[in-house]
Structure 1
Amino acid sequence: MTLYIGREASKLWKRICVETTTEINLLIDNWKYLLAGLIFQYIHGLAARGVHYLHRPGPILQDIGFFLLPELGQDKAYISETVFTFIFLSFVLWTFHPFIFKSKKIYTVLVWCRVLAFLVASQILRIVTFYSTQLPGPNYHCREGSKLATLPKPDSMLEVLLINFPRGVIYGCGDLIFSSHMIFTLVFVLTYQKYGTRRCIKQFAWLVAVIQSLLIVASRKHYTVDIVVAWYTVNLVVFFIDKKLPELPDRTSGSSPLLLPLSSKDKDSKTKEENHKLMNGNSVDPADWRPRTQVNGKILEDANGIHVDTAMTGV
Structure 2
Amino acid sequence: MGSSGGVEIGFSTTRFTFGCQIYRRIVMETIVEWPLLLEKWRFLLFGLVFQYFHGVAARIAHYLHRPGPILHDLGFDLLPELGPEKAWISETVFTFIFTTFVLWTFHPFVFNNKRFYTVYLWYRVLAMLVIAQTMRIVSFLVTQLPGPNYHCREGSAAATLDPPKHISEVLLLNFPYGVIYGCGDLIFSSHMTFALTFVHTYARYGSKTWIKRAAWVLVVVQSLLIVASRKHYTVDVVIAWFVVILLFNYVGRKFYDPELMDRSPLRDQILPMNRKDGRNKDEMQKMVNGNSGGWCKVTDVRPVGGLRRNMLLTILEVIPLGLVASSESASEATQRLNMVL
CA–CA separation in structure 1 for the residues paired with 2:251 and 2:229 = 32
Q: 2:205 aligned with 1:195, yes or no?
A: yes
Kindly report which structure 2 residues correspond to 1:9-28, keeping only aligned pairs within 5 A, or say none. 9-28=19-38
Please tell me whether the aligned partners of residues 246 and 258 of structure 1 are also in contact (alpha carbons under 8 angstroms): no
Deviations 1:138-166 (A, max 9, x none): 00000000111011010101111111122
Q: 2:189 aligned with 1:173, yes or no?
A: no
Structure with larger RCO (C-alpha < 8 A, sep 6+): 2
How many matched pairs?
260
> Which structure 2 residue ranges, 5 or more long, are not aligned?
1-9, 277-341
- What corresponds to 1:110 in structure 2? 120
2:59 to 49, 54, 76: 49
CA–CA separation in structure 2 for the residues paired with 1:4 and 1:18 = 21
- What corresponds to 1:33 in structure 2? 43
Name the TM-score, length of structure 1 as normaliser: 0.79
Displacement of 1:250 in angstroms is 2.1
2:131 to 101, 111, 121: 121
CA–CA separation in structure 2 for the residues paired with 1:64 and 1:256 = 44
* Partner SS, residue 182 of structure 1: helix
Please tell me whether the aligned partners of residues 96 and 108 of structure 1 are also in contact (alpha carbons under 8 angstroms): yes
* Partner SS, residue 251 of structure 1: coil
Name the TM-score, length of structure 2 as normaliser: 0.73
Bigger Cα Rg: 1
Among the aligned pairs, what percent are the same residue?
59
Q: 2:214 aligned with 1:204, yes or no?
A: yes
- What corresponds to 2:194 in structure 1? 184
Deviations 1:261-296 (A, max 9, x none): xxxxxxxxxxxxxxxxxxxxxxxxxxxxxxxxxxxx
Displacement of 1:6 in angstroms is 2.5
Please tell me whether the aligned partners of residues 90 and 225 of structure 2 are also in contact (alpha carbons under 8 angstroms): yes
Kindly report which structure 2 residues correspond to 1:223-234, keeping only aligned pairs within 5 A, or say none. 223-234=233-244
Please tell me whether the aligned partners of residues 147 and 183 of structure 2 are also in contact (alpha carbons under 8 angstroms): yes
Q: CA RMSD in A?
A: 1.8
Aligned residue identity for 2:25: R
CA–CA separation in structure 1 for the residues paired with 2:98 and 2:248 = 18
Kindly report which structure 2 residues correspond to 1:1-315, keeping only aligned pairs within 5 A, or say none. 2=11, 3-247=13-257, 249-253=261-265, 257-258=273-274
CA–CA separation in structure 1 for the residues paired with 2:151 and 2:18 = 53
> Which structure 1 residue ranges, 5 or more long, are not aligned?
261-315
Residues 74 and 246 of structure 1: CA distance in aligned 2, closer, same or farther (over 3 Å) = same
